[in-house]
Amino acid sequence: MSSVRAVPETRRMTGAELSADDAWHTVCRFGLWHLLATGFVRLRYGDGFSHARAFALQLALAAVPLVIAGAGLATAVGVESFAEVIARTVVAISPGSSDALVQQAIGNTGDEGSERAEVVVVLGLVTAFAAATSAFAQLERGANRIYGTERDRPALRKYGRAALLTATAGVSMTIGLLLIVAGEPFGEAMEQVYRWGDTAEELWDVLRWPCGLVALVVAVTALLRFAPRRRQPGSSWLAVGGVVTVLAWLAGSGLLALYVALAAGFGETYGPLTAVMALLLWANVTGIALLAGFALAAQLEAVRGGLSDPRLPDSDDDGIPDRLDEHPASPAR
């Protein structure tokens, strides 16, 4: 349950949308560390961590069928060599204890000919799209609670918008994540299968980072603008939260990769399920980074509107905000 103050919808004196210049002036006025600290408070009291876990589950449910559908699509169109590239890439980024399970799941897509591969592609894409749509609908709920909006959009509008975000921001996010997370093993697999040469591989390693970062920032900024149920500031204002989100995600993903690689007993503990556990942990990091970006963008707009403390007042410190204490019959009591 969210217990944060609602963020007022602010504009310039002329009524125009807030821009990056306004965001920079606000950061300079209130201080970056103050905004980060109060943004964390907004994330916490807006129940952001719970919504991040729900988003992570749906994201993981979308990732697995999407990978299998990619291998099936390559088989269905007769490009078995590219299916091998996908298999090599996924095995390379999965923890070692689960290599055999991952290889079997991907390799089985083409064992029974193109007809089975076509079925795998259709079912995989439909399942992945439905799970991703549910994930972005959950992201709207988390964003609304962080902004202090108590109700989501009506169901048809909510899931319709989530489906549209899946087809746009979701595709951009997927491209960015693939370029950064799987870019290096993908390049190595392409070189091994297609023999495209060291020069092409080096060029790929150079270009994938800026392209992946741009795709991620564009996707996150689009989510910040269109997911919450409110009128948002301009995209350049929200890009501040988008950049922080991407940086937080890179840091969290890097630390998680080190933990999985170096932690004693991680692979032995989970055995063939190591890849599944690593995927769930990574998806949770992704959800926290996204909602942290929402919290920072919300708090940046809140302090500009004169609301420095993101929490609802609780003068008697009983854990129940004052506005709920005023209604004894409230279900919250």
pTM score: 0.84
Q: Which residues contact 293 (CB under 8 A, 6 or more apart)?
A: 220, 224, 241, 242, 244, 245, 248
- Please check whether residue 315 lies inside any domain of the structure: no
In a domain, 322, yes or no: no
Closest CA to 178 of 285, 90, 275: 90
Say if 255 falls within a structural domain.
Answer: yes
- DSSP-derived secondary structure for 37-60: HHHHHHHHHTTHHHHHHHHHHHHH
42 falls within a domain = yes
The answer as to whether 6 is a domain residue is no
**DSSP secondary structure letters along 270-324:** HGGGHHHHHHHHHHHHHHHHHHHHHHHHHHHHHHHTT----BPP-TT-SSS-HHH
Closest CA to 240 of 44, 28, 13, 53: 28
Considering all CA atoms of the chain, what is the largest pairwise distance in Å, rounded to the nearest integer?
73
Q: Give 327's DSSP letter.
A: -
The one-digit pLDDT tens for each residue of the chain (333 residues) are: 678 899 988 766 455 777 778 888 888 888 888 999 999 999 999 999 999 999 999 998 888 888 777 766 666 655 566 666 666 676 666 665 555 555 555 555 555 455 666 777 788 889 999 999 999 999 999 999 999 998 999 999 999 999 999 999 999 998 998 888 887 777 777 777 777 777 777 888 888 899 999 999 999 999 999 999 998 888 888 888 888 889 989 998 888 888 877 776 777 777 777 778 888 898 999 999 999 999 999 999 999 888 888 888 777 777 777 666 555 544 444
- pLDDT at res. 106: 55
DSSP letters for 230-249: S----HHHHHHHHHHHHHHH
Backbone angles phi, psi at 314, to 5 degrees: -140, 80
Amino acid at 56: A
Strand partners, 311: 4
Cite the DSSP H helix spans in 3-112. Answer: 20-30, 32-45, 48-76, 80-93, 99-107
Q: Looking at residue 273, what is its pLDDT?
A: 75
Beta bridge partners of 4: 311
Long-range contacts of 55-58 (CB under 8 A, 24+ apart): 55/135, 55/138, 55/139, 55/142, 55/283, 55/286, 55/287, 55/290, 55/291, 56/280, 56/283, 56/284, 56/286, 56/287, 57/280, 57/283, 58/131, 58/132, 58/134, 58/135, 58/138
User: Which helix H or strand E contains 161, and what residues bound it?
Assistant: helix 155-165
Which residues, 6 or more positions from 300, have their beta carbon under 8 angstroms from its beta carbon?
Answer: 23, 26, 27, 35, 39, 237, 240, 241
The answer to whether residue 5 sits within a structural domain is: no
Is there a domain that residue 305 lies in?
yes
Number of domains in the chain: 1
How many other β-carbons are positioned within 10 Å of the β-carbon of residue 305?
Answer: 12
Residue closest to 35 by CA, chosen among 219, 273, 235, 297: 297
Query: What is the pLDDT, as a whole number, of residue 332?
Result: 44
Provide the domain limits for residue 262.
20-310
236 inside domain: yes
So what's the pLDDT on residue 333? 40
Taken in order 321, 326, 332, 333, the sign of the CA dihedral is positive
